[in-house]
Amino acid sequence: MPTHKYDKNELQKDYLLLRNILEKKHPSLYWYTTKDSMDTYFDKYYNGITDSMTELQYAWQVLAPLVDKIHCGHTSVSMSKAYSKWADGRRQSSFPLYFKVWNDTMVVTSNLNRRDSIFKYGTLVTSIDGRSSKEMIEHLFSYLPEDGYAFNVNYMRLSGNFPYFHRNIYGLSKTYNVGYKDSVGNAMLAEIPQYAAPKDSLKKDSLARIAKKSLPKIPKEKKLLQYRALTIDSSKTFAVMTVNTFSKGRLRGFFRKSFRQLKNENIKNLVIDLRVNGGGRVGLSTLLTRYVTRHSFRVADTLIAQSRSLGPYTKYIKGNIFNNIELWLIAHKRKDGRYHLTHLENKTYQPKSTKHFDDKVYVLTSGLSFSASSLFCNAVKGQPGIKLVGEETGGGWYGNNGIMIPDITLPNTRLRVRLPLVRLVQYNHIAEKGSGVLPDVLVTPNYNALIKREDYKMKVVKELIRANP
């Protein structure tokens, strides 16, 4: 049960196990934080375990802020399977407002308290309980993992579910004092109640889950559209290829069919939308690159693991025996003492010889463009006829830890922590690590477009196409 408290000794044992695994197996524990500093953080959060805690308290008060200090977007904390099952579909009390968040700006996009007449869509919020929007955003970021200092992904996370993060990090209050700007720009303050989940929410949600199971199945082709789609504008001047993941969607066949259609219909401008592509299989990201790249390319400068096996922690790590076998087969020790994936380090890829797209390409990016999608962006950036349009990617430009990422399951609390096993430094990477891949045409969130509910980035791309047919 969520209210169950684990005693101090159980929590400390889980913590020390996690520390040992991270120190021995994480390929980039000290990439952005020095060992001395990381040791200080390890000690700080261990010493913060002074009493018993619930799973939720342990995850958010201890593990999440610890993991954030690694600055690895592929190292994150998840609740136990039992807790996740309990929470699935369950409405919980929370801070009621959803926001679009960027820089130090928070604009209301939804309100769980439907009868509220003040905080409508588009209201600019400046503070909550005396904390300025800037102060609050910075504090929330200290609990969320990112690649280096590519914080743009965290703006997107907060925009996606601000009540969730606010509840878990700040806790619940019966009321909140919210500062905002009225319609003429005056600074105002209002007290609003928390969103209180209905007492019969469990019963209703259970019925909803039963009803959901009885719904007719979505046809496969329609379901695939949530992963990828190709739309050709009626003017035939451009097409939009939306690729929301490199993990699902039968992408090999989709790419083959789509690029054949683009060639047959003589489309001269292609927009590749990666704004919500969180990554996936590097092989599929590389395949897309081959369809548009102007020259041969390599994905990685170096690919290294800390060791060739998970031992002596194998039993705590998902896919244990299979990960051991894979590491043993592909990782080879070199003079630097590290275990290199040499076959991938030395691999050069050629552009597709058939169905290759030779005309103008515009790649839409955002903070959610992560991992394998950032590899694609790095590979094509700067090439003739290809422009990245949008915001800095969430995935690291210098490199990331996105190869082989099993979960550690802590034996007492059953909390899960993702453990990347391989560090990838991008080929032809920038000199300084820390940022995401930067766009060629920067398009940041626009308040006026938000109010009009416009797709501002797509609007800018269409203007670029019209200006350069």
- pLDDT tens digits, residue range 3-41? 899 999 999 999 999 999 999 999 999 999 999 999 999
- How far is 464 from 357, CA to CA, in rounded Å? 19
- pLDDT tens digits, residue range 55-89? 999 999 999 999 999 999 999 999 999 999 999 88
> Which pLDDT does position 215 carry in this prediction?
61
Q: Going edge to edge, which strands form the sheet with 300-305?
A: 332-333, 339-340, 300-305, 422-426, 399-403
> Left if phi > 0, otherwise alpha if psi is -120 to 50, otherwise beta: which for 249?
left
pLDDT score of 206 more than 80: no
Task: Give the amino acid at 391.
Answer: E
What is the DSSP code (8-state) at residue 114?
T
- How far is 299 from 397, CA to CA, in rounded Å? 12
Structure pTM?
0.93
- How far is 318 from 395, CA to CA, in rounded Å? 24
- How far is 443 from 65, CA to CA, in rounded Å? 31
More confident residue, 428 or 306: 306
Of 182, 144, 186, nearest in space to 162 by CA: 144
For the chain, the farthest-separated pair of C-alpha atoms sits apart, in whole angstroms, at 67
Residue 116 CA from chain centroid, whole number: 32
pLDDT score of 211 more than 70: no
pLDDT score of 352 more than 60: yes
- How far is 227 from 224, CA to CA, in rounded Å? 5
pLDDT score of 186 more than 60: yes
pLDDT score of 222 more than 90: no
Own/partner long-range contacts of 38-41 (Cβ < 8 Å, ≥24 apart): 38/69, 38/70, 41/66, 41/69
pLDDT interval class at 430 (50, 70, 90): confident
> Which pLDDT does position 213 carry in this prediction?
57
Residue 341 CA from chain centroid, whole number: 25
pLDDT score of 203 more than 70: no
Q: What share of the chain is helix, strand, coil (3-state, %, to 5)?
A: 35, 20, 40
Residue 196 and residue 210 in contact, taking contact as beta carbons nearer than 8 Å: no
pLDDT score of 202 more than 70: no
Percent of the residues in the chain that have a pLDDT greater than 70, as a whole number: 96
CB atoms near residue 379 (< 10 Å): 25
> Which pLDDT does position 390 carry in this prediction?
98
> Which pLDDT does position 198 carry in this prediction?
83
Q: Give the angle 302-307-308 at the CA atoms, nearest 5°.
A: 100
Of the listed ranges 53-67, 214-228, 285-299, the least confidently predicted one is 214-228
Across the chain, what does the average pLDDT equal? Answer: 94
- pLDDT tens digits, residue range 384-398? 999 999 999 999 999
